[in-house]
């Protein structure tokens, strides 16, 4: 069975975006980029909530015309070739070959996890992460904490995430001052 891994970038004060929705603060230095490319390159499915999906779908298909950053150029072919699923109560189609996951989250995500023996990688998404955490469906949490205080914004988990004891399995400092906190549920 696939493991569901929540991979998220967080500010030091616990936010995934700033007070005005800004996501311009994570710095992908070489060390963090290498880690991210390795993790994403081994995933069997990328999973998104609708809001994060719309941001990703608006960027990655055309990234070569928008960015020259080495990380972006390395991740783009991985993004394009990896199967994608989007959690949404409103989308009928997601585009870019993504499957829309609607209805009973427990049934749908359990089915998605049963499709192989690798990983389903959930990217960011406060509401999606909170809902999946509340249902006990997340197996691992990989939180990259960046050295920035946003002073408000969207928290890593939306209200409603269940209380869960986690086991720390790895910490790692990256160049640029970010730190990985890797937990299992």
Q: By the 8 A CB rule, do 83 and 99 touch?
A: yes
pLDDT of residue 115: 82
Per-residue tokens: 122:
């959930």
Give the three-state DSSP class for 178: coil
pLDDT digits (tens, 9 = 90+) for 19-73: 999 999 999 999 999 999 999 999 999 999 999 999 999 999 999 999 999 999 9
The C-alpha angle 104, 110, 112, rounded to 5 degrees, equals 100
CA distances to 8, 112, 113, 148, 167 from 21, in Å: 15, 30, 30, 15, 31
Tokens representing residue 77 in the block: 């072919």
Most confident of 34-48, 84-98, 115-129, 159-173: 34-48
Buried b (16+ CB within 10 A) or exposed e, 13-29: eebbbbeeeeeeeebbe
Note down the domain range covering 15: 3-184
The pTM of the full predicted model, rounded to 2 decimals, is 0.94
Total structural domains within the chain:
1
Contact of 4 with 132, CB cutoff 8 Å = yes
User: What CATH number should be reported for the domain holding residue 57?
Assistant: 3.40.430.10
For residue 62, what are its two tokens? Answer: 């055309």
Evaluate the CA torsion angle 101, 14, 118, 37 in order and state its sign: positive
Residues 6+ apart with CB under 8 A from 154: 15, 16, 17, 21, 126
Q: What is the mean pLDDT of the chain?
A: 94
Number of C-beta neighbours around residue 11 at 10 A: 22
Q: Over 80: is that where the pLDDT of 161 sits?
A: no
């Amino acid at each position: 069975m696939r493991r569901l891994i929540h991979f998220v970038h967080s500010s030091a004060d616990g936010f995934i975006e700033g007070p005005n929705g800004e996501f311009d603060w994570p710095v992908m230095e070489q060390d963090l980029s290498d880690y991210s490319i390795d993790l994403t390159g081994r995933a069997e499915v990328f999973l998104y909530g609708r809001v994060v999906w719309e941001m990703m779908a608006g960027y990655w298909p055309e990234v070569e015309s928008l960015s020259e950053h080495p990380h972006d150029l390395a991740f783009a072919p991985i993004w394009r070739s990896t199967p994608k699923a989007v959690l949404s109560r409103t989308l009928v189609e997601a585009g870019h070959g993504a499957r829309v996951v609607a209805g009973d989250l427990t049934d749908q995500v359990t089915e998605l996890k049963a499709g192989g023996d690798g990983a389903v990688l959930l990217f960011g998404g406060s509401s999606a992460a909170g809902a999946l955490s509340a249902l006990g469906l997340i197996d691992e949490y990989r939180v990259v904490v960046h050295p920035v205080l946003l002073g408000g914004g969207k928290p890593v988990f939306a209200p409603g995430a269940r209380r869960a004891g986690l086991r720390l399995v790895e910490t790692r400092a990256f160049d640029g001052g970010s730190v990985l906190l890797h937990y299992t549920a």
